[in-house]
Structure 1
Amino acid sequence: MVVKASIIIPVYNAEDTVRRAIDSAVNQTTDEPYEVILIDDGSKDESAAILDEYADRYAYVRVIHQDNQGITRTRENGIKISQGEFVFWVDSDDYADAHLLEKTLPLLESGADVVIYGTQYFCEKGGKADNRIRKNISDATYWKQQALNANLSTIWTYGTRRRFWEGESAPSEVARSAADGYMTIRIFGKAESFHVLPDILYYHLVDSPFSIRHTFNGRRYLGNAFLWYYRLKCSEKQYPENTEACAARAMSGYIKAYAMDTVTHDLTEEDRQNIIKALQDLKRYSISGRIRDKLLGWAILHNQLWLCRIYAQHKNSKTQQMNKKMKKLIKD
């Protein structure tokens, strides 16, 4: 039997939400044959047992158990074993609409390389949901530029051909942060036809305090900086009007990465040397930037790291306070 689509769900310590995610995948209304791939990335809670439960119940569900590798490498492993002609992603604390495949597969089978659909951003404890509907534009150049501008950089907002993913591997700098943006640029770069659906077909949880979004360290900022530096180099060849903005974001990210590392110590010496090289290269661009970033940049290049430590300690303190408040809200 030819498998038309693969829904891939990476899972790590998600026992509280993963059933909702899997239920949304196994209960699709399409008549087309599809598979659901669940990858346990070394979970330490009951997630692995939950995944096995679904695999026993549904013939089209496959489970992979592996040592922890992080979500980026887990996704890449999912692509390697997937069999569907088209690929869709669901995060373990999110869920898909039951009509996701029914509404997107006919468009992909008719020739669209990428189908972009609406997303609802919701909070677990209530609050106003935020619907994100993309402009109904089919021009490929427009969407390639949107990816470079970071206006579309999450892989669960679209479905596409599996062959576009084959052979792709995110650089180590973005493996723990910013891989979505990097991969979207790569995938959109291969696509020639885009279709936009106004329907809300994906639901994204925004208030998880355990998300990478609420972690600020050298590694996370390095990923973001590397991605903006990559966008800068791509823009130089295709959209030179974007270069100044990309250069500013890259510089800010590299400076924050180096500064945070003075406290978190999660970068390698090679990472630090690469940051200094990038900052030297970014001097070629006209960057306005914040006074804070310019001061920290001077401190890095002149080895006055005490200034970086003051910034990093202040940033860590603010982050810890924010996460405590968020966890309390969710607990209450």
Structure 2
Amino acid sequence: MKNKRVDPTISIVIPIYNVEKYLSKCLDSLLNQTFENFEAILVDDGSKDESYIICKKYEKIDERIRVYHKNNGGLSDARNFGVKQATCDYVVFVDSDDYVNSDYLKCLWKAHIDYNADLVVSGVIRETEDGKVSSVVGSEEICLYSAKEAIKESCYGENIPIYAWGKLYTKKSLLKHPYPVGKYHEDVWTTYLLLDEANVIAAVPEKNYHYIQRENSILHSNIFSTKYFDSIEGAKQIESYVKRKYPDLITASLARLLIESNALLHRACRYPSNYIQASDMVDSYLKGNWKIVLSDKKNNGKVRAEMLLFKISHKLYRLGYLALTK
């Protein structure tokens, strides 16, 4: 029997593509929410497995769930499509291979009400498929930011991760800044713009979002794609934006560029020709800024150490990474 429908205040958008193995856990975690006034918009982006069938099963269970099936257009396209279907003024993204704690929506909404925050950020637990926690990201207490302060925090990736998920947004801001269709790392291209639309950003201490690092996901695939270059191109867009609007955040924007550069080089290390191409791009983007990024102690120490090695020798960086990841 379907649950009684209530007037929703939050639209949850779940982009779905070939995740039959993980989807039920994700959807069960949403139906377990202590905050019940939501609608869940399931966007099946042309899945070739049983994902759509699973979606339809859940749609029959709970009237708060609406299922849409569309031709494959990629993650950004699915997110944008879901936002357009949303009937609420506030939107949350949950990736279909992740899951959330039962108080996830409650904590986000409470911070929105208590602090008049028009963007709220959840703490995040990164874990492997077998449940092993790899890291925890987020503040230790409630933190309030202006748009400028939040952009700075997101560049360093501390209390405000740059990911699209794990946040409560206004639908209005998402319609103004849709995710770039065809780009990987779409959140690098978009999160800073969404933060800049907000008057008050609240980061809550509760770590209620579980980000599952799958080996065969876009970000953790063993196959290299030139689309990975989108990440540092997005970081360059952040640098250009803050140069115009917040010039005193240049160092922070370069920190994001350093983080994305290091991640790109990691992915390229096993592919010699791609590694040369990635190295050339990183060199050109960081040219003239090495002293700034390597002396910025607010940036991640491990990232700075690895990129110092890269600056000294591209070959040693690659050999060192391959030796450590055998």
- The normalised TM-score by structure 2 is 0.75
What is the letter of the counterpart of residue 159 of structure 1?
L
Contact 2:188 2:235 in 1 (8 A): no
- Aligned equivalents of 1:235, 1:186: Cα separation in 2: 11
**Matched residues in 1 for 2:268 and 2:131: separation?**
37
- Give the gaps of 5 or more residues in structure 1: 297-306, 326-332
Structure 1 pair 81–261 and aligned structure 2 pair: CA distance change class (3 A): farther
Does the 8 A contact of 1:254 with 1:279 survive in 2?
no
Instruction: Give 2:111's aligned residue.
Output: 107
1:56 equivalent to 2:50? Answer no
User: Does the C-alpha gap of structure 1 residues 290 and 196 become closer, same or farther in structure 2, counting only changes over 3 Å?
Assistant: closer
1:132 corresponding residue in structure 2: 137
Q: Name structure 2 gaps, 5 residues minimum.
A: 1-5, 295-306
Aligned residue among 210, 215, 220 for 2:216: 210
Tell me how far apart the structure 1 counterparts of residues 12 and 74 of structure 2 sit (CA, whole Å).
18
Match of residue 6 from structure 1: 11
Shift of 1:252: 7.0
Q: Which residue of 1 aligns with 2:300?
A: none
Looking at CA atoms only, which structure, 1 or 2, has the larger radius of gyration?
A: 1
Q: 1:293 to 1:73 in 2, by over 3 A?
A: farther
* CA distance in structure 1 between the aligned counterparts of 2:283 and 2:17, rounded to whole angstroms: 35
Per the alignment, residue 66 of structure 1 pairs with 70
Please list, as runs of the form range in 1=range in 2, the aligned pairs for 1:168-207 lying within 5 A after superposition: 168-171=177-180, 175-176=183-184, 178-206=185-213
Q: Which moved more, 1:162-171 or 1:60-69?
A: 162-171
User: Aligned ranges for residues 255-266 of structure 1 at < 5 Å?
Assistant: none
**Number of the residue aligned with 2:127:** 122
Tell me the residue number matched to 1:241. Answer: 251
Structure-to-structure mapping, 1:179-328, within 5 angstroms: 179-206=186-213, 208-215=214-221, 217-237=224-244, 238=246, 239-242=249-252, 244-245=254-255, 283=287, 285=289
With over 3 angstroms needed to count, the CA separation of the structure-2 counterparts of 1:233 and 1:42, relative to structure 1, is: same
Partner residue in 1 for 2:82: 78
Distance 1:186 1:291, change over 3 A: same
Residue 132 of structure 1: CA displacement?
2.9
Q: What CA deviation, in whole Å up to 9, does each residue of 1:100-156 have, x standing for no partner?
A: 222322332452112222222233324346433315321323222112334421122
- The CA deviation at 1:76 is 0.9
Query: Secondary structure in 1 aligned to 2:132?
Result: coil
Shift of 1:38: 0.7
Aligned to 1:42: 46
C-alpha distance in 1 between matches for 2:287 and 2:203: 39
CA 1:48 to 1:279, structure 2 compared with 1: closer, same or farther past 3 Å? same
Indicate the residue corresponding to 1:167 in structure 2. Answer: 176
Match of 2:30 in 1: 25
Change (3 A) 1:168 1:209: same
* Aligned counterparts of 2:254 and 2:39: Cα–Cα separation in 1: 44
Of 4-13 and 21-30, the range deviating more from structure 2:
21-30
Q: What RMSD over aligned residues (CA atoms) do the two structures have, in Å?
A: 3.7
SS in 2 for 1:214: coil
